[in-house]
Structure 1
Amino acid sequence: MAGQVVELVRRIAGGHAQAEVNATHSALALTRFANSYIHQNVTEATDTVTLRLHLDGRTATGSTTVTSDDGLRALVERTLAAARLCPPDPTWPGLAPPAPLGGTAPWDGATAYASPDERAQRVRAFVDAAGGLTTAGYCRTTRLSGAFANSAGQAVSGRTAAAAMDGIARIDGVDGLARLAAPRLAELDGAVLGRRAADKARAGTAPVELPPGRYEVVLEPTAVADVLQNLARYGFGGKAYNERQSFAVLGAEQFDPSVTLVDDALATAALPFDIEGTPRRSVPLVSRGVTRTITHDRQRAAEAGVESTGHASATARYWGPIPLGMRLEPAGSPDSPDPDSAATDPTAAGPNATGSTGADPTGSGPGEVPGPVVDADTARLVSGVRRGLLITDFWYTRVLDPRTLVVTGLTRNGVWLIEDGEVGTAVRDFRFTQSYPQALAPGAVLGLGRHTARQPDSWDSIWWTAPPIRLAAWNFTGGASG
């Protein structure tokens, strides 16, 4: 289909027109539940053909979901008409040359074509494991297949699939959270997630209010994912960097030596090429604390005098070419030494191990304050904290200053006081105002977990991958009372 449109452009506009075409099939299947019942099951599948055309120094883009011969011809004709009316485009970077793909994206047919019953089974397991608490959330599966062709001879295709589950359990107005993404639906265990959410909810009842201030924190992967998203959207993209709106300074030691950030689109649920046909590859953004690379599409790469990293997207005009699901390397990986040397700790358990870092989460006696059950990875980080906070999640985060990436937002779904290496009292939510790069600056990272968890993106099928992380300080500027 993509090649057919390129040929139509050649026949209708002649050989001097440059054309690139994306033909995609996307499908999202979503099973949502609230009040512990499934209330919506929807599937949306769409075929889309997008044409970008450059003619006589002018560029226009058109798209259609009508993929018949007449529909494709109409797409070409109206895009040609639009190009003739557009102003000259001095930023046109030319077409991507022929190049082979660097690899394939994750694909699991059972996930791509999962039935509503298979998603419902995981919802039932989540609800049952919550032990009578009110639950809400979703289980989703996605698939994406696509092909690209241009008049310079580049022609590639690929496919990918993913699954995600996100749910809360609620008691006395307190929510506990469990969230996970995976390339295979079979990797999502609704019972494990339901128990985790319920445990957090029960441990979060009767929270106390603490004064605002700077606290040492342990961020769980659900909170670290927000840090990665904001670093990606406002810092490591070529548009922000070229316009001097980014904090990034190439070659500078801007982060703690334990921090290594990689954008590996082939390891997440994205096609193995971008919308300009450039093959995707692993991009090392930060290596042992040193900022190494910015992501580019062809236009931003031309401005910077470098090559595209394969990050062109339909939203690049606004957001620019941004990373697609970064990964914070865990402690013990070759590029990320752990500042507390826990990578060699023989007692460190795997990501599915659990251990209470506070009192019995079911409550073991009058006057005792329950603490949440956390995995052994998080418990190891908590054990080194004299006084600080365990943070489950951030939400409603907004950037106040893109140059320093100062972000304001709220905690959500669980905050607990850490004292002498143990998690105990639940704490009411805070507002924070914090520079994300400053929070990860040299000397500010006190520990990284040894195991990562995939956290689903809110708007796309990609995920953000991170371990828990212990930070020297986080700036909380307001509490529940203001």
Structure 2
Amino acid sequence: MSILTESEAYAILDKVVKLSKADQCTAQLSGSIDGNVRFALNNVSTSGIVSNVDLAVEVAFGKRVGIATINQFDDASLERVVRRAEDLARLAPENPEFVPAVGKQDYKPTSTFSPATAAITPDYRAKVAADSIGPCRAGKLVAAGFLQDGQSFSAVVNSKGNRGYQRATALDYTCTVRTDDGRGSGWVGRSLQDAASFDAGTEIRTAMRKASASADAKALEPGKYTVILEPAAAAGLISFMLNFFDARQADEGRSFLSKKGGGNKVGEQVYAPSVTMFSDPGYAAAPVLPWDGDFLARERTPIIDKGKVANLQYSRYWAQKQGKRAVGEPGNLIMEGGTKTTAELVRTTERGILVTRTWYIRMVDPQTVLLTGLTRDGTFYIEGGQIKYPVKNFRFNESPVIMLNNVEELGRPVRVQGDESNLIMVIPPMKLRDFTFTSLSDAV
């Protein structure tokens, strides 16, 4: 029951919309079957499957809005949830920023569903755990990781004639490997839509190599260094920065994209010319649903074009107020790059530091997007195009805006999950000059 067919979903949603006596009604069904396995200290600790389906009903009387949810779908329950939403709407104060439900949208289907991922079984999850644990145990290393896979559907119908239905799948895997004495740590992570391209036995070797190589780390003086950020390390900083690509924040002077005297920096050169980013719901390596949380259709949208700010995100309210056209909020971010792997970027670096991963990232100054955080799970000194030795982890103070003005070279983009958002990101490894490390950390 958790994954409804298109006809099953529409039968429920159409019935809900017809039951409503409000000025407008939007009904959404979402369901999923999510499986997982967790392991630590070279042993499986938990495993499970969660299955659920929910109906959300949003109604409005004028500018008064009410929302109610339920997970029972008999006629009496559907009647009850609609009336509850209407009762709440009548009690609610008027919303001064209310925008009516979207009209009929042109949703272009995207390839978000993989039969291989939907077919994952408990045996598959057990094999992923075994393929991760076995090599580590044999190599006197300790593995701790998590695999989560799922299939889902989303469907919407509103009283203005808009309707949409689509299925999706996802697989996320992370594993941290430590040396048995705890002095070395390595990490690997994969974010995929299609399980057919995933092999835990191959992926775990990356974390194992870094764990073994990162023991006996040397202390290096903090300061400004040329760095190579692996895609997972760069994604955490970039996803923070994207929170400020909101037109209202910029127009109201609350963003690094605000102009002195009013307005925003759309069209201005803010980054290095090598920096180009866009969102595209149908992008083959990172497809997402063709609508956003307001059920507005997503489109391919340039965000940064050769270093210039190309677009900001307008909410439907702010677009109406500013006389702009609103498009669906991005579900992914694609950053263009080159063809080199991380290893090839290392070979062209005379002196620098390789960063596997960043974590515990926090905001220091919103006006400049100055962030602080730590490196972890494998940080290495590069000299003469080779990794010479592991170094102790650093705390950094860096703005991704400045960072993306100091680009020396970009590698081949890969898919990662954005740390501070639900965005699926395709990010290249990047070589950057003058990255600021402020202090050392004893953590591995």
TM-score by length of structure 1 reads 0.82
Q: Counterpart in 1 of 2:271? A: 255
The equivalences for 1:263-278 within 5 A come to 263-267=279-283, 268=286, 270-278=288-296
Asked if 1:433 corresponds to 2:397, the answer is yes
The equivalences for 1:437-476 within 5 A come to 437-441=401-405, 444-449=406-411, 451-457=412-418, 463-476=424-437
* Runs of 5+ consecutive residues of structure 2 not aligned to the other structure: 1-8, 258-264
Cα deviation per residue 1:100-138 (whole Å; 9 max; x = unaligned)?
Answer: 212313211220231011122222222233333110101
Measured in 2, the distance between the counterparts of 1:431 and 1:176 equals 18
Deviation at 1:235, TM superposition (A): 1.9
Q: Counterpart in 1 of 2:97? A: 91
Q: State which of 217, 230, 236 in structure 2 corresponds to 1:220.
A: 230
SS of 2:73's partner is coil
RMSD: 2.2
Q: State which of 294, 303, 322 in structure 2 corresponds to 1:285.
A: 303
The equivalences for 1:110-121 within 5 A come to 110-121=116-127
SS of 1:94's partner is coil
Measured in 1, the distance between the counterparts of 2:16 and 2:25 equals 10
Q: Counterpart in 1 of 2:168? A: 160
Deviation at 1:88, TM superposition (A): 1.2
Deviation at 1:46, TM superposition (A): 1.4
Corresponding letter in the other structure for 1:447? E
**Alpha-carbon contact 1:145-1:271 (below 8 Å) kept:** no
Q: Counterpart in 1 of 2:6? A: none
Deviation at 1:292, TM superposition (A): 0.6
Deviation at 1:61, TM superposition (A): 2.1
Q: Counterpart in 2 of 1:150? A: 158
Q: Counterpart in 2 of 1:53? A: 59
Measured in 2, the distance between the counterparts of 1:165 and 1:8 equals 38
Number of residue pairs matched by the alignment: 422
**Alpha-carbon contact 1:129-1:192 (below 8 Å) kept:** no
Cα deviation per residue 1:4-59 (whole Å; 9 max; x = unaligned)?
Answer: 45654554425xx1111211112221111111122111111211111222213212
Deviation at 1:327, TM superposition (A): 1.8
User: Cα–Cα, structure 1 residues 119 and 459, in superposed 2: closer, same or farther, change >3 Å?
Assistant: farther
The equivalences for 1:372-391 within 5 A come to 377-391=341-355
User: Cα–Cα, structure 1 residues 424 and 446, in superposed 2: closer, same or farther, change >3 Å?
Assistant: same
Q: State which of 329, 340, 344 in structure 1 corresponds to 2:336.
A: 329
SS of 1:430's partner is strand
Q: State which of 156, 181, 194 in structure 2 corresponds to 1:184.
A: 194
**Alpha-carbon contact 2:235-2:419 (below 8 Å) kept:** no
Q: Counterpart in 2 of 1:236? A: 245
Deviation at 1:477, TM superposition (A): 1.2
Measured in 2, the distance between the counterparts of 1:294 and 1:3 equals 37
Asked if 1:75 corresponds to 2:36, the answer is no
Corresponding letter in the other structure for 2:152? L
Measured in 2, the distance between the counterparts of 1:459 and 1:27 equals 24
Measured in 1, the distance between the counterparts of 2:92 and 2:169 equals 37
User: Cα–Cα, structure 1 residues 288 and 458, in superposed 2: closer, same or farther, change >3 Å?
Assistant: closer
Corresponding letter in the other structure for 1:29? G
Deviation at 1:195, TM superposition (A): 0.7
Measured in 1, the distance between the counterparts of 2:192 and 2:365 equals 33
**Alpha-carbon contact 2:288-2:332 (below 8 Å) kept:** no
Measured in 1, the distance between the counterparts of 2:438 and 2:422 equals 33
Cα deviation per residue 1:58-85 (whole Å; 9 max; x = unaligned)?
Answer: 1222222233322222211111111111
Asked if 1:203 corresponds to 2:213, the answer is yes
* Runs of 5+ consecutive residues of structure 1 not aligned to the other structure: 312-322, 332-342, 349-376
Asked if 1:295 corresponds to 2:313, the answer is yes
SS of 1:27's partner is strand
User: Cα–Cα, structure 1 residues 68 and 447, in superposed 2: closer, same or farther, change >3 Å?
Assistant: same
**Alpha-carbon contact 1:407-1:434 (below 8 Å) kept:** yes
**Alpha-carbon contact 2:236-2:420 (below 8 Å) kept:** no
Measured in 2, the distance between the counterparts of 1:152 and 1:9 equals 10
Asked if 1:169 corresponds to 2:131, the answer is no
Deviation at 1:427, TM superposition (A): 0.7
